[in-house]
Structure 1
C-alpha cells in the first residue's frame, strides 16, 4: 500500500498530501515527511535543479541586499548538501572562472561546477590560514546556514545557538577582507546582545532578515553583517 494519500476537492483546488504513520516511522519523522511533500520550495528546488530548498533563502536575501557579486571569493561554512554554494557559484561566476567558492563541512559533498568542497572543521585552529591560502587572499563573503543540533532542552539549545553564531563570527572576522559581508542563520531570541554588539563593532551595518522561504511558524531568521571594518577594529 502506498505510504501517502491525497485529499482535496476537484475543480482546480490544490491537493494536500497526508502521510500515513508507518510502524518504523516516528510521529516527528512522519510530520517532517508530510511538510516536505507539501512544501512548494522543495518541489521548486527539484524542478530547478537546486540541492536544497535553502537555496531560495539565499537567492531572496541576495535579491534584497545584493550580497553576492561576480568575481567574489566566497566561503560557505557547513556547506552540505551544497544548496548555498550552488547559488554562490551562479552569482559569482565561479563556474566560468571569475570567482572562487569554497564550501567546507565535516560531511562528504558531491561535486558541483564552480565549487571547491573541502572536508574539514572550521573550528580547527589552522582552518583560517588554510582558507586564505586556498583562496589566494581573504574572502569577500562568509556564509553560514549551520544550525546547532537540538537537545530538546530550551536553555541548552539557546546556548548552543548563541555559541555557534559566535564561533562563526570569529571565523569570519579572521578571513574576511575589509568591506566584506557575513550572513548566518540564527533563531529569534538566539542572537544575544553581546553577539550583536560584537557584529556592530566589526561591521558598518547589521540587520536581521526573515526570507519568505523560511518555513511558516519557524523561529529561523538570518543576521546579515556587511561592511567589515577589518581585523583589529574597535
Structure 2
C-alpha cells in the first residue's frame, strides 16, 4: 500500500459541479465534495471500493484490531470497503462475512449475504457462515440523513445500539466491536452500556473522517461474554 499522504500526486484542481439536469442543491454539494476529496481519488488509484477503507486502515494500524485467522462480521457492508480491508488482514485462514440489504459485488476472501441483521435468525446464520462465533463485529453503517441534526444523530445512534445487541449475540469471549457514531450528547449512555460487556472502550476519529463531520467510531475490545454465551463450533 502506498504510504504517501492522501493528497500527494493529485493536482489541486478545484472541481465544480454544474447544476445541470435539474440536480438538487444537496446533490450538487455532495458530488462536489466527492470530486474534491483526496481520499476518494486515492481509493480509486489503490483499488479500494470506498474512501471508508482508509478509516479502518488507520484504526487498525493504531490499535491492531484485525489479526490473521480471525472471524469477522461486517454489518451494512456495502459497497465492501471495510470487508476488503478485513479480508486482507485476516488472510486465507480467516473468515469475513459481510451483510447488507443491498447487493454487493463478489470479492475474493469475503462472503456477502443480502440479509437484515435485525432478523431473528441473523446471528445464527452469520455464525454458521463464519464457522463459529465472531472475533470482530464491525459496522460503518449510517442512517439516511434528514438534514435535522438531532434526528440524524438519534438515527445513527439507534443503528449503533442495534449493532451492539447483535455483537453480544455472536462475539466470542475476548472479541472486539467497532461502530460509527455521531457526537451529539447521547453517546455517553452507549459507552456506559459497552463498558459492562467489554474490558476497554474508547472513541477514535481517524484522519480519513472528514474534519467537518461529527462522525466518530466507538471501539470496544475484550468482550467478557455473557452467561450461556459459549458457542458451539459449526
Check the 8 A contact 2:195/2:201 in 1, yes or no: yes
Deviation at 1:122, TM superposition (A): 0.3
The normalised TM-score by structure 2 is 0.89
Deviation at 1:102, TM superposition (A): 0.1
Deviation at 1:157, TM superposition (A): 2.4
Q: Structure 2 matches for 1:53-92, cutoff 5 A?
A: 53-92=51-90
* 2:162 equivalent to 1:167: yes
- 2:173 pairs with 166, 172, 178, which one? 178
Q: Structure 2, unaligned stretches of length 5 or more?
A: 1-9, 229-234
- 1:128 pairs with 108, 116, 123, which one? 123
- 2:207 pairs with 198, 212, 217, which one? 212
SS in 2 for 1:178: strand
Deviation at 1:105, TM superposition (A): 0.2
Check the 8 A contact 1:174/1:231 in 2, yes or no: no
Q: 1:91 to 1:17 in 2, by over 3 A?
A: same
Q: Structure 2 matches for 1:138-149, cutoff 5 A?
A: 138-149=133-144
SS in 1 for 2:51: coil
Deviation at 1:191, TM superposition (A): 4.5
Q: Structure 1, unaligned stretches of length 5 or more?
A: 1-11
Corresponding residue of 2:101: 106
Check the 8 A contact 1:162/1:190 in 2, yes or no: no
The normalised TM-score by structure 1 is 0.89
Aligned pairs, number:
219
- 2:38 pairs with 13, 36, 40, which one? 40
Superimposed CA distance per residue, residues 115-147 of structure 1 (whole angstroms, 9 cap, x where no aligned partner):
000010000011111111111110000010001
Corresponding residue of 1:156: 151
SS in 1 for 2:15: strand
SS in 2 for 1:17: coil
Superimposed CA distance per residue, residues 50-86 of structure 1 (whole angstroms, 9 cap, x where no aligned partner):
0000000000000010000010000000000000000
Q: 203-212 or 16-25: which moved more? A: 16-25
Alpha-carbon distance between aligned partners in 2 of 1:98 and 1:228, rounded to the nearest angstrom: 22
SS in 1 for 2:83: helix
Alpha-carbon distance between aligned partners in 2 of 1:223 and 1:155, rounded to the nearest angstrom: 19
Corresponding residue of 2:4: none
Across the aligned residues of Structure 1 and Structure 2, the Cα RMSD in angstroms comes to 1.6
Check the 8 A contact 1:73/1:140 in 2, yes or no: yes
Q: 142-151 or 40-49: which moved more? A: 142-151
Q: 14-23 or 101-110: which moved more? A: 14-23
